[in-house]
């Protein structure tokens, strides 16, 4: 059943505020088979988790359309999640079209509004042609602005009457229509000759569209990171078919195809080198500036650049399965997801618009006793000033930019919650092998004539300590012996008919005495080496010592984490003595040694029980449960796929310096979000009473609706610009 569950990101068109997003989200969540839905106003996306057997994309589209918006369906020609994911292409086309239309409408609206403004205040503009002061002319100039330039706002009326809900467009349309029809009634004699508000209606519509135009341009910069990632993909591939080179589109490459790549060309898809040697620039995907040497058996990543030699490789992952496609998809999901801090804004926005409608009506009723003109002015001002755009943009836009910025640095964030949690972490647990160390152990010591026997047993093992032993035997051209009844014992070693090889715990289980070798074992362990013991029957035949080199930046990173008030732990399957020898080299005092793979998650739980929020950092399959158990799981990018799936954050290269960067990015993003929310709340709390006329009894001040429109547009733009500061951090 779980295989039918899909998690996809869709573009949503037509949203203008957080209330729009909430309306769509509620409608989608009502569908049977929808597990989760997060509609994000800032990124104009919907992150939907649904059961394919119960919900089709057509049903999702119809549901969104039923509440007045458009869900864009990716074309069937390009697979979902593929590099060049077409909803981004659709977004580009849609944005260009929207910007073009807005420019035309702003130009027309600006000219007509200027003429209306000149004609409305002849005492100020004596140079203006007198024809502009004619009421009927003002009506003719305003009408196209009201019903053509401002046409998009009338979707708010449809939502109000059809679905009994309201959004930003509802407020704008009611406010401007009230001013417009009041003036029309005066022009055609239904009301006594009094003030006209054509200028109010026309200028408000033009100003709001101008604000939306500037906001659209600024938001376009927010998605630059994901667009850059998408552009990395190769367009064609040179496939070897029947001994001939055939150039095909990258979309046509199939798993198993043999591909030739010459120096200077992009690797088209993920694969494994079968012939040739070269150095590959993987910086575009991993952020690692140094080229990586590749030869037969090495993995290559699609979109990376072949620098030196010609290589031939077998395609292993194509289309939506390539690493770059997965990165794009995960960044999409992170940008579309909601941080816990956004829930407050969502709740407020859900009740905000109906509350504003009530306040506006109450304002009108109170002020009508002081004159219909004052009542209308204040009614319109409340509706216009209160549009919750800034509130809706405060969190999602910062998350969008933060996640995109992280991706460019080689930090892949799965969801917004991880970005928010990172700065709250109080304790960090680091796996030793492959995380603190380079994960490439070498055989340093052999005690006794045991290499042939040890290598024969370890030949069938997948453990990282087995590889250097087998590699040394191959290098020395030692013949491997046949092994029967082979069995791997997780966390301890292996055994077969030839003997047992592993750690102290395995020897204890096998009833093997270590008395004669205890001193030598301790000596090697004090040097920070991991000792592998070989026994036949009940007797030790010899020892092998393996050492893994620490990463150069490990000590610097540990120092930085401690400086930031974090409690640092190291977890390893090695015994206490080896663990302490390694930990002391990087300045770690807290050690969890001799921990079996299945017990790592329990160790995380133990630390959580002390009240600390825990981050786990690992790279192997055995780290996956612990990564999932921790509040924040961080996987090293060169580790296993399972580890990366279990973690909330993946470091695309094995540089430990990215860990403090994650915490720093989290702090910066949350600081920006809090600033945005403060100003959004402050703006609405401060200006709605002013718009309602609260200052008039004391200072004789009323807020002109035109200034209300300008303030509303500025508040949204200020949130966008503040969020864009993250691109420079």
Both structure tokens of 264:
């200077």
216, burial (CB in 10 Å: exposed 0-12, middle 13-18, buried 19+): middle
Question: Phi, psi at residue 55, to the nearest 5°?
Answer: -130, 125
CA 295, CA 275: separation in Å to the nearest integer? 7
Helical H segments across 81-167, by residue range: 86-120, 135-144, 155-163
Both structure tokens of 251:
């979309």
Return the H-helix or E-strand segment holding 715. helix 705-724
CB atoms within 10 A of CB 84: 16
The answer to whether residue 431 is catalytic is yes
CA 668, CA 290: separation in Å to the nearest integer? 28
Q: What is the CA radius of gyration of the chain?
A: 33
HEC profile of 620-686: CHHHHHHHHHCCEEEEECCCCHHHHHHCCEEECCCCCCHHHHHHHHHHHHHHHHHHHHHHHHHHHHH
- Asked if 657 and 641 touch (Cβ cutoff 8 Å), the reply is no
The active-site residue out of 270, 281, 431, 655 is 431
Q: Which residues, including other chains, have CB under 8 Å from residue 284's CB and lie 6 or more apart?
A: 232, 303, 304, 305
Beta pairing, strands 614-618 & 590-592: unpaired
115-124, Cβ contacts within 8 angstroms, sequence gap of 24 or more: 115/141, 116/141, 116/142, 116/145, 116/198, 116/199, 116/202, 116/203, 117/199, 117/202, 117/203, 120/196, 120/198, 120/199, 121/199
CA 113, CA 92: separation in Å to the nearest integer? 30
Q: How many CA atoms lie within 13 A of 512 on its CB side?
A: 25
Q: Which residues, including other chains, have CB under 8 Å from residue 582's CB and lie 6 or more apart?
A: 432, 436, 437, 528, 550, 570, 572, 574
- Asked if 531 and 505 touch (Cβ cutoff 8 Å), the reply is no
Both structure tokens of 199:
């200028």
- Asked if 251 and 297 touch (Cβ cutoff 8 Å), the reply is no
Q: Which residues, including other chains, have CB under 8 Å from residue 30's CB and lie 6 or more apart?
A: none
Walk across the sheet containing 614-618 and list its strands.
411-413, 649-651, 632-636, 614-618, 427-431, 567-571, 590-592
Question: Phi, psi at residue 570, to the nearest 5°?
Answer: -115, 135
Length of the chain: 729
Beta pairing, strands 499-502 & 530-536: antiparallel
- What positions carry a catalytic annotation? 431
């Amino acid at each position: 059943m779980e295989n039918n569950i899909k998690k996809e990101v869709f573009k949503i068109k037509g949203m203008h505020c957080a209330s729009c997003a909430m309306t769509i989200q509620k409608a989608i969540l009502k569908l049977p088979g929808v597990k989760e839905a997060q509609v994000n106003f800032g990124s104009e996306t919907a992150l939907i988790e649904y059961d394919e057997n119960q919900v089709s994309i057509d049903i999702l589209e119809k549901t969104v359309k039923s509440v007045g918006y458009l869900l864009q369906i990716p074309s069937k020609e390009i697979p979902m999640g593929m590099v060049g994911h077409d909803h981004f292409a659709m977004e580009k086309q849609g944005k260009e079209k929207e910007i073009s239309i807005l420019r035309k409408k702003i130009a027309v609206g600006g000219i007509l509004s200027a003429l209306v403004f000149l004609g409305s205040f002849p005492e100020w503009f004596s140079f203006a042609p007198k024809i502009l002061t004619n009421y009927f002319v003002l009506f003719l100039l305003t009408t196209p602005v009201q019903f053509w330039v401002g046409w998009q706002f009338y979707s708010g009326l449809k939502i109000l009457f059809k679905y009994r809900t309201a959004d930003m467009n509802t407020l704008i349309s009611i406010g401007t229509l009230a001013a417009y029809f009041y003036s029309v009634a005066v022009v055609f004699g239904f009301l006594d000759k009094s003030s006209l508000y054509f200028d109010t209606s026309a200028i408000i519509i033009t100003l709001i569209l101008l604000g939306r135009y500037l906001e659209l341009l600024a938001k376009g910069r927010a998605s630059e990171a994901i667009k850059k990632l998408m552009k990395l993909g190769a367009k064609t591939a040179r496939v070897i078919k029947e001994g001939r080179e055939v150039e095909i589109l990258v979309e046509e490459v199939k798993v198993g195809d043999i591909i030739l790549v010459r120096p200077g060309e992009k690797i088209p898809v993920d694969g494994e080198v079968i012939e040739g040697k070269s150095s590959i620039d993987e910086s575009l995907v991993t952020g690692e500036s140094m080229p990586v040497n590749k030869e037969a058996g090495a993995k290559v990543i699609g979109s990376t650049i072949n620098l030196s030699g010609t290589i031939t490789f077998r395609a292993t992952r194509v289309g939506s399965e390539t690493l770059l496609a997965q990165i794009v998809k995960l960044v999409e999901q992170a940008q579309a997801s909601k941080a816990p801090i956004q829930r407050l804004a969502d709740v407020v926005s859900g009740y905000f618009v109906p509350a504003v409608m009530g306040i506006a009506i109450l304002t009108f009723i109170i002020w009508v006793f002081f004159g219909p003109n004052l009542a209308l002015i204040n009614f319109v001002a409340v509706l216009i000033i209160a549009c919750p755009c800034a509130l809706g943009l405060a969190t999602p836009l910062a998350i969008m930019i933060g996640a995109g910025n992280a991706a460019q640095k080689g930090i892949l964030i799965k969801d917004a919650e991880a970005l928010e949690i990172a700065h709250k972490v109080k304790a960090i647990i680091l796996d030793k092998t492959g995380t603190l160390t380079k994960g490439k152990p070498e055989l340093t010591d052999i005690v006794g004539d045991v290499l042939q026997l040890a290598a024969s047993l370890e030949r069938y093992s997948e453990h990282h300590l087995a590889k250097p032993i087998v590699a040394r035997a191959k290098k020395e051209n030692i013949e491997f012996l046949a092994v029967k009844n082979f069995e791997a014992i997780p966390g301890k070693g292996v055994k077969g008919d030839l003997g047992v090889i592993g750690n102290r715990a395995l020897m204890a289980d096998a009833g093997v005495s270590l008395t004669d070798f205890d001193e030598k074992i301790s000596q090697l362990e004090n040097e920070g080496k991991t000792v592998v013991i070989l026994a036949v029957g009940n007797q030790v035949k010899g020892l092998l010592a393996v050492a893994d080199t620490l990463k150069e930046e490990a000590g610097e990173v540990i120092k930085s984490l401690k400086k930031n008030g974090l409690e640092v732990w190291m977890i390893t399957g090695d015994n206490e003595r080896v663990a302490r020898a390694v930990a002391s080299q990087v300045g770690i005092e807290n050690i969890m040694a001799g921990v079996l793979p299945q017990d790592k998650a329990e160790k995380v739980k133990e630390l959580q029980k002390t009240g600390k929020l825990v981050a786990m950092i690992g790279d192997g399959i055995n780290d996956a449960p612990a990564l999932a158990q921790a509040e924040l799981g961080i996987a090293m990018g060169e580790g296993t796929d399972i580890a990366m799936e279990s973690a909330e954050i993946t470091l695309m290269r094995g540089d430990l310096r990215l860990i403090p960067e994650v915490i720093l990015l989290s702090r910066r993003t949350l600081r920006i979000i809090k600033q945005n929310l403060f100003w959004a709340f402050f703006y609405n709390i401060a200006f709605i009473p002013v718009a309602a006329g609260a200052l008039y009894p004391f200072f004789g001040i009323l807020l002109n609706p035109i200034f209300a429109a300008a303030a509303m547009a500025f508040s949204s733009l200020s949130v966008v610009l503040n969020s864009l500061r993250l691109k420079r951090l």
